[in-house]
Structure 1
Amino acid sequence: MIVLKEIMSLFLIILIGVYSKKRKIINEEINFGLRKILLEITLPLLIINSFNFSFQDEMKSNVLISLIYSVAFFVVGIIVSYICLIPIKSDKKKILHFANIFPNCGFVGFPIINSLFGAEGMIYGSIFNTVFNIFLWTYGVIIFSNKVSKSNIKKIFLNPSIIAVYIGIFMMIFNIKLPSFILESTKLVGNMTTPISMMIVGVMLADVKVKDIFKQGTIYYGSIIKLIVIPISLYFIKLLLKDNSTIINTIILIQAMPAATMTTIFSIDFNKEKEYSAIVVFISTLLSIITIPIMVRFIIN
């Protein structure tokens, strides 16, 4: 029911985006402005808020372990996705590879993790989210740009989201707490990230014929990799390590979430298969209604 509730909320916001584009409430100029707001204001504030937890001494070792698992499992996901996508050519491969690596950990993942593991799971989820953002603005940019230049490096390490990661890590290490009025304001604005991103997906879907949404075979193939193959690969690593801790279960389940909406945001910014990327996010989110409950039962035993 938690999965269904979150997914239905996402679909409703997507439909608002579709309606807004069809009624010409949102045009290309407004859509560009929404992306700028998301990337330069709401997302950085959301990242900073994800670090708002007590970094107590007894949690230090667990936080370090969750950091190691997050990095290692991102690398495993990259390798598995790259191998599975070898048969696919063109820019669609970039979209699917990006979607396979980066899960929707915020809007879909966190409520599920919170319901299963409570506050402890949310801490590990926040650590994963930190690694997510570092990979997003490094490897994620490289996927679309195909090269690492000086200008790219500058954009990667000095963009607002990565600066937010620097601030968040500093807050976490020194256990700095924002004043309540600042925290509440940044939280309210940061929480706008998901609605804005899903509306942007809806705006892109508005230009796609309904029949085209469900006839893209490569999208189903990519969704199987994202929602089943990668999580199961990580599950076998869990068995090899003989670790059934909340830490490893949290990280694996987050990786089993549908494609992040940043898939569409990046495809628009890099002008790569924009409509296709919106369909990827839509289909993987739709299929996750079935796969997430299965993965929860399968992974947690």
Structure 2
Amino acid sequence: MVDAYLNIFVIFVLMFMGYWLSYRQLFTNQTADVFSKLVLTIALPCNMFLNITKNFSRDEFLALFSGMLIPLCSILVTFILSTLYTKFFSVSSTRKGTFITMFTFSNTIFMGLPINLAIFGEVAVPFVLLYYIINTSLFWTAGVYKMAQDNPESQQAKIEFHPVAALKKIFSPALIGFIVGLIWVLCSLSVPKFIASFTGYLGNLTTPLSMFAIGIIVYQIGVKNLRMNHDIFGVLLGRYIISPLIVWLLGQWIQVPDMMLQVFIIQSAMPIQNSVPILTRSYGGDVEFAASSLGYSVLLYLIYIPFLLHLIL
């Protein structure tokens, strides 16, 4: 337990380095964009490929897919509950879709992968990816569609949403790296040493660049600009209480390995996705609400994660 806390502390030190270097004007918003692109298009695909080929055989991986039912069911249930919440608590129509998306979907890669690596090590990566596949697929379809509806000119917002664009987001380089690794494992192929070394060097960039990007984003939002309200409180309630509780309850019904369930719980209780404020701006929604929710979710996670680990480990 102590080692897990120390590893997580190191992760957040990297985030605060990103914040501090932004304060010192060494990092800018454009730097965060560069880091994000490097992670999503180069480092993360290499990380996915290497970890899946390194840690699992064909039979071991095929046995994992029964566990995909938990993230699928939990996200769908959370989506329904978030929709009911907006009706019972009268969430504004200009932020309703953004609220539902932030309440339901978590930051499974930029935060989820480094945190799970810090706690469990590389053996947890396939479980992280199973949750990531479901979370990402539903986020770039149902989630983005709901955010598009926040635009007062709802008809125009609907026109801007295109299924092909969503599919491109779902089949991201990270997922493609995972699929290539999966094919490699299913074909029982060995990875040449030079490829393992190459992908290893690039894959090791994932955690530091991800946390630097998070730190830059928190700085750009501005801690002083954060404004708590009942809608943001509702988002945090969904992220950190309701979503992991649903996963835990499903885990009592659907039998999966203990570590898989623990990873799913941690993945379900991650902060809000980095891209939500950007998407909210593009669809004409409430950007201040989205940015403040993201800022609070990241900062409160520092206090929240030790309690969560104490409960599940």
Q: Where on the TM-score scale, by shorter chain, does this alignment land: which range?
A: 0.7 to 0.9
The number of residues matched between the two structures is: 289
- The superposition leaves residues 74-102 of structure 1 with CA deviations (integer Å, 9 ceiling, x where unpaired) of 33343344444554344486267346422
Check 1:78–1:35 CA distance in 2 against 1; reply closer, same or farther (3 A cut).
same
Q: What's the offset of the Cα at 1:279?
A: 0.6
Say whether the 8 Å CA contact 1:3–1:108 is kept in structure 2.
no
Give a deviation string over 1:198-256, Cα, whole Å, max 9, x none.
22222232244444447455444322322221222222233345x47426623543334
- Shift of the alpha carbon at 1:18? 1.9
Aligned to 1:254: 266
How far is 1:133 from its partner? 4.7
How far the C-alpha of 1:21 sits from its partner, in A, is 1.9
Retained in 2: the 8 A contact 1:141–1:156?
Answer: no
Matched residue, 2:236: 223
SS in 1 for 2:274: helix
Gaps of 5+ in 1: none
TM-score (normalizing by structure 1): 0.76
Residues 122-157 of structure 1 show CA distances to partners (whole Å, capped at 9, x for unaligned) of 554443344445445555554555654154145335
Aligned mate of 2:183, from 170, 177, 199: 170
Match of 1:197 in 2: 210
**Percent of residue pairs bearing the same amino acid type:** 17
Counterpart mapping for 1:229-240 below 5 A: 229-240=242-253
For residues 258 and 118 of structure 2, what CA distance do their matches in structure 1 show? 15
Instruction: Give the whole-Å Cα distance in 2 for the aligned partners of 1:44 and 1:34.
Output: 14
For 2:51 and 2:86, how far apart are their aligned partners in 1? 32
Structure 1 counterpart of 2:113: 106
Write the letter of the residue equivalent to 1:259. Answer: P
Paired AA for residue 55 in structure 1? S
Report if the CA contact (8 A) 1:85-1:97 is conserved. Answer: no
Amino acid at match of 1:78: F
Q: For residue 155 of structure 2, what is the aligned residue in structure 1?
A: none
Change (3 A) 1:168 1:144: farther
Q: CA RMSD in A?
A: 3.5
Note closer, same or farther for the CA distance 1:216–1:84 as it changes in structure 2 (3 Å cut).
Answer: same
CA, structure 1 residues 69+150, in 2 after alignment: closer, same or farther (shift >3 Å)? closer
Q: Equivalences for 1:248-287 in 2 at 5 Å? A: 249-259=261-271, 263-265=273-275, 267-268=277-278, 271=281, 272-273=287-288, 275-276=291-292, 278-287=294-303
Q: Deviations over 1:4-30 (max 9, x none)?
A: 324322332222222222222123433
TM-superposed CA distance for 1:186, in Å, is 1.5
Which amino acid counterpart does residue 177 of structure 2 have in structure 1? A
Deviation per residue, 1:156-180 (Å, 9 max, x gap): 3554233323313312322333223
SS of aligned partner of 2:42? helix
Aligned to 1:54: 56
Alpha-carbon deviation of 1:195? 1.9
Read off the aligned partner of 2:239 and give its amino acid letter: K
CA distance in structure 2 between the aligned counterparts of 1:143 and 1:129, rounded to whole angstroms: 20
- In structure 2, the residue matched to 1:36 is 37
Deviating beyond 6 angstroms after TM superposition, the runs of 4 or more aligned structure 1 residues are: none
1:18 match:
19
- 1:75 match: 76
Conservation of the 8 A alpha-carbon contact between 1:138 and 1:156 = no
Q: Could you tell me how far apart the structure 1 residues matched to 2:164 and 2:199 are?
A: 30
Amino acid across the alignment from 1:204: I
1:289 matched residue in structure 2: 305
| Alpha-carbon distance in structure 2 between the residues aligned to 1:156 and 1:250 | 27
Report SS of the residue matched to 1:69.
helix
What secondary structure sits across from 2:57 in the alignment?
coil
CA displacement 1:172-191 (0-9 Å, x = unmatched): 32233322332232133223
Instruction: Report if the CA contact (8 A) 1:137-1:162 is conserved.
Output: no
Q: Does 1:127 align with 2:139?
A: no
Q: Is the 8 A contact 1:66 1:128 kept in 2?
A: no
Give the distance between the partners of 2:126 and 2:167, measured in 1 at CA: 30
Runs of 5+ in structure 2 lacking a partner? 150-157, 282-286
CA separation in 2, counterparts of 1:162 and 1:142?
Answer: 21
What's the counterpart of residue 174 of structure 2?
A: 161
Helix, strand or coil: the match of 1:206? helix
